[in-house]
Amino acid sequence: MSETVLRLNDVTMQFGGVVAVNNLTMEVRRGEIVALIGPNGAGKTTAFNCVTGVYEPTNGEVWFGNTLIASNHPSGKMKKLYAGENAGKYEKVVKITPDRITKMGIARTFQNIRLFKTQTVFENVLIATHLRKTSNLFSATFRVNAREERRMREEALRLLDVVGLLSVRDEKATSLPYGKQRRLEIARALATGPSLLLLDEPAAGMNPQETDDLGRFIRRIKDEFRLTVFMIEHHMNLVMDISDRIYVIDFGKLIADGTPAEVQGNPEVIQAYLGVDEE
Ligand X SMILES: Nc1ncnc2c1ncn2[C@@H]1O[C@H](COP(=O)(O)OP(=O)(O)OP(=O)(O)O)[C@@H](O)[C@H]1O
Residue ranges of E strands in 193-269: 196-200, 228-232, 245-250, 253-258
What would you report as the CA-atom Rg of the chain, rounded to the nearest whole angstrom?
19
Smallest distance, ligand X to C-beta of residue 154, A: 36
Residues that bind ligand X (CB under 6 A): 15, 18, 20, 38, 40-46, 111
In angstroms, what is the minimal distance from the CB of 140 to ligand X? 35
- At 27, the amino acid letter reads E
Least Å from the CB of residue 232 to another protein:
15
Q: Of another protein, Mg ion, ligand X, none, which one sits near residue 154, judging by CB under 5 to 8 A according to partner kind?
A: another protein
Going by C-beta distance under 8 Å and a sequence separation of 6 or more, which residues neighbour residue 76? none
Nearest to another protein of 131, 240 (CB atom): 131
Q: How far is the CB of 204 from ligand X (least distance, A)?
A: 9
Q: Which is nearer to another protein, 30 or 133 (CB)?
A: 133
- In sequence order, which residues have a C-beta less than 8 Å from that of residue 71 and are 6 or more positions away? 60, 61, 62, 90, 92, 93, 94
Among candidate residues 71, 77, 62, the one with its CA nearest the CA of residue 28: 62
Tell whether the torsion through CA atoms of 185, 52, 263 and 111 is positive or negative.
negative
Q: Can residue 71 be called a binding residue for another protein (CB under 8 A)?
A: no
Binding site for another protein (CB under 8 A): 52, 54, 97-100, 102-103, 107-108, 110, 114-119, 123, 126-131, 133, 135, 137, 140-143, 149-150, 152-154, 157-158, 161, 170-171, 188-189, 191-192
